[in-house]
Amino acid sequence: MTEPIDFAPLAAVAGPLRAVLDEVAARFGPDVRISRDEQLDCDPFRPAGVPSESVRWEYNLRVPAPPGAAEILLSEVLPRLSADGWRATDRSGESEVAYQFQRDGTNLGVHVSRDGTGDVVVGGSSRCVPTEAR
């Protein structure tokens, strides 16, 4: 179950991000687990006690890797997100097939182990939203 977002400008960008990530994760199977669903400060070096100037929403999911997970990423997820206007960057390495996607200041990534073990990790963060509206 997702966390409620009580700041309307952040909810406006986090809701669509959650929907895209839920859809991507579902392509890998039904056993989707949320590993992060929270508001984060856009300036990680902001001193304690100083109010945030902007915040973002981070939402990460894990799904047990099904057989052919890398193929699902390459033949289903990559074309679908690209068709929806997401810019893809191949971040694959020796041990994983990984793509990062960006659109309108929002980032998401999909990571699949090359040996088919572990979980598929699907996650992302919204663009930063100024907090002055609070």
Render pLDDT for 15-35 as a digit per residue (tens, 0 to 9). 999 999 999 999 999 999 999
Question: What pTM does this model have?
Answer: 0.91
Q: Tell me what pLDDT residue 2 has.
A: 67
Q: Specify the CATH number for 8-41+53-130; select among 3.30.160, 2.60.120, 2.30.110, 3.20.20.
A: 3.30.160
- pLDDT at res. 46: 83
CB neighbourhood size of 44 (10 A): 6
Q: How far apart are CA 87 and CA 84, in angstroms?
A: 9
Q: What's the confidence (pLDDT) of residue 108?
A: 97
Q: Which residues of the chain have pLDDT under 50?
A: 133
d(CA 59, CA 40): 10
